[in-house]
Structure 1
């Protein structure tokens, strides 16, 4: 028996469990995988980016698709609150030159260990390898001991999106909720790479980072590093513009963003004699390595003069669409905000709340994802505690 049930042990679920426990509820957290917070630990392998150090109004502008409840959650638990929360777990943080905030330890494991100890002190219990399979006559789970049905007073669902299924976010919950009248937006990849059918000419550049270019989408210019992979284009710079390109915007690359068009045209107008085009680009513009390779890949046959200068400033990128959804860092789509009230409780299922990436919102990498998951988990957990009292 339990007062409160939390299904899903990622950041949103753990935060909801903490709020419920602080309100005096007996809390059980179930997780389908053998251990908790697997995606958080994976995110922390290259440095756990907890949040972005910027004013709340600017922070929320990077989140799209969310309803008023999401923005209310971020209003009360934004970047400053996330930093304080980490410090209260004994994890000091620092802000990098880009404004991204990391724990001093960089990894996720010290923070997670401290958090789980605090939850244990609050009486939160965990069951792993419990997969949620139904909600008729209670919450049903497939467990190592067989099928178990729970009837808690209140439930928070924090089941993740539909990417990285091997870490637990497989989106299989969507069919169960839609069968109960919960309206959902279709899942779409977010923060993902794009497929490019490279010629053999590009093979020597697989794995090479592209620095010092700008990405042009919908009249906006974005600077950021990305990588040439065997499958296409990936990395932070690409993720920042991935939503717009996924939804149909053209992608172009400015190979020399610090050079005005006129300067490039003037440099190219000089005589090249018997010098090859490739060497002329290297000598006149210092266009070398992977930048020159991208120009040859996407621009051949290269035009002359002013047309070539224009191509260097806005090189079209023909791609074959986003990488598969399971490879995406996150997903858009999920439970629509109109399917819930202002407390993130499902209209069709009173007493059942939702939090985290399973909600229909998206944001770029850079701390926005984790912060929003924590904020919605806190919002749903506090609301669930109040509802169970009433």
Structure 2
């Protein structure tokens, strides 16, 4: 009688969204899967991101354009916004599309989705090892800080970026792959401004209906004055340019052409602050004008259309929502396998890509995790082709 074929094994290091998706995909492909994470509970950053409403993906015509990363396109084509919503529905977590195209679970929070996901992984036989800090390799064996060793047929690394250390993303893994990693940099982050004491009363004030001018282009968005400088979603898509040193200017009246603005200023009466109030500028905007542009010129219109903000660089990386840098794409093959270590795959934020918030971060983590898990299972000997989106495994 022919001996039964041994079940292929896959280890996943990291229990964030990319790692859990890799585990589900590898398990769905027939592999025996063990997940290792150094935190006491999984997906802590995912839970924190979903505290005020989990924006998991976004429905829009050119979704992939937000990444400016051609390497991600094949994975996003296989598992994009529609597939994310179908995967959620498979977990009995319905979703809805907001007015801007952003997709949220109907329950809004991340915790119900995570509970359903972990329950499905447990039912599939996926084992989760908590407080298991990966320390590298000893030959072909994975090693952990508590002395545990594992020798799977394939491994998926889903170790995250280098922000939010208290939630598990500390970037320490990069020291174990020093020749393959681009330096980390903060992304989706606020920027420092050295305010005078006069600005303190306005900290926490939003600046709405403004234009943010970077590199000759105006972007509409909202930002907030803080003790450290400026923060908020309006800055996040601009992080790569601002991080590289591009200057920032604000158009405080983006819906008025400069000549119309000049005319309204000429017709306004009273003190300068009165005239600015009559334009619709808030107290925080007026304070900002005085803070960065004194002595004010006689012709205020050009100033209000392009108010230069003296940024002092991004805030510390551990305060960033995400990071750029990480495992370089030239270190990976088309299936996200490390060229230097066959049988080891990578997924999620540990790879060198960045994207603004708004569902883009989570979707790319899920998409790369899914592909890496399937590829790892195939490498390990499980019999599932890489092409196609049928799920039994995640997504369908």
> TM-score normalised by the shorter chain: which range applies?
over 0.9
In the TM superposition, 1:214-253 aligns within 5 A as 214-253=211-250
Find the counterpart in structure 2 of residue 156 from structure 1. Answer: 156
* Counterpart-to-counterpart distance in 2, 1:193 and 1:281: 27
In the TM superposition, 1:17-166 aligns within 5 A as 17-55=23-61, 58-65=62-69, 67=71, 70-137=72-139, 138-143=141-146, 147-166=147-166
Note closer, same or farther for the CA distance 1:40–1:233 as it changes in structure 2 (3 Å cut): same
Q: Does 1:351 align with 2:348?
A: no
Tell me the CA shift for residue 301 of structure 1.
1.1
The answer as to whether partners of 2:160 and 2:348 remain within 8 angstroms in 1 is yes
| Number of aligned residue pairs | 375
TM-score, normalised relative to structure 1:
0.94
* Counterpart-to-counterpart distance in 1, 2:339 and 2:268: 72
Which secondary structure state, in structure 2, belongs to the residue aligned with residue 123 of structure 1?
Answer: coil
In the TM superposition, 1:171-320 aligns within 5 A as 171-178=171-178, 182-270=179-267, 272=269, 275-283=270-278, 285-305=279-299, 308-320=300-312
For residues 329-361 of structure 1, the C-alpha deviation after alignment (integer angstroms, 9 at most, x for no partner) is: 000001111101100000001100000000000
Q: Does 1:387 align with 2:379?
A: yes
Note closer, same or farther for the CA distance 1:130–1:84 as it changes in structure 2 (3 Å cut): same
Tell me the CA shift for residue 241 of structure 1.
1.2
Unaligned runs of 5+ in 2: 1-6, 383-396
* Counterpart-to-counterpart distance in 1, 2:370 and 2:280: 52
For residues 105-161 of structure 1, the C-alpha deviation after alignment (integer angstroms, 9 at most, x for no partner) is: 110000000000100111000010000112122111013xxx111111100000000
Note closer, same or farther for the CA distance 1:89–1:63 as it changes in structure 2 (3 Å cut): same
For residues 292-344 of structure 1, the C-alpha deviation after alignment (integer angstroms, 9 at most, x for no partner) is: 12111111111012xx1001000001011000111100000011111011000
Note closer, same or farther for the CA distance 1:2–1:127 as it changes in structure 2 (3 Å cut): farther
Find the counterpart in structure 2 of residue 329 from structure 1. Answer: 321
Tell me the CA shift for residue 286 of structure 1.
2.6
Return structure 1 stretches of 4+ with deviation > 3 angstroms. none
Tell me the CA shift for residue 54 of structure 1.
1.2
* Counterpart-to-counterpart distance in 1, 2:198 and 2:92: 51
Q: Does 1:372 align with 2:364?
A: yes
Tell me the CA shift for residue 269 of structure 1.
2.5
Which secondary structure state, in structure 2, belongs to the residue aligned with residue 280 of structure 1?
Answer: helix
* Counterpart-to-counterpart distance in 1, 2:338 and 2:275: 63
The answer as to whether partners of 2:249 and 2:309 remain within 8 angstroms in 1 is yes
Q: Which moved more, 1:128-137 or 1:75-84?
A: 128-137
**Alignment counterpart, residue 333 of structure 2, candidates 336, 341, 346:** 341
Tell me the CA shift for residue 64 of structure 1.
2.7
For residues 16-36 of structure 1, the C-alpha deviation after alignment (integer angstroms, 9 at most, x for no partner) is: 000111111111000100000
Which secondary structure state, in structure 1, belongs to the residue aligned with residue 184 of structure 2?
Answer: strand
* Counterpart-to-counterpart distance in 2, 1:271 and 1:36: 59
Tell me the CA shift for residue 2 of structure 1.
7.8
The answer as to whether partners of 2:12 and 2:36 remain within 8 angstroms in 1 is yes
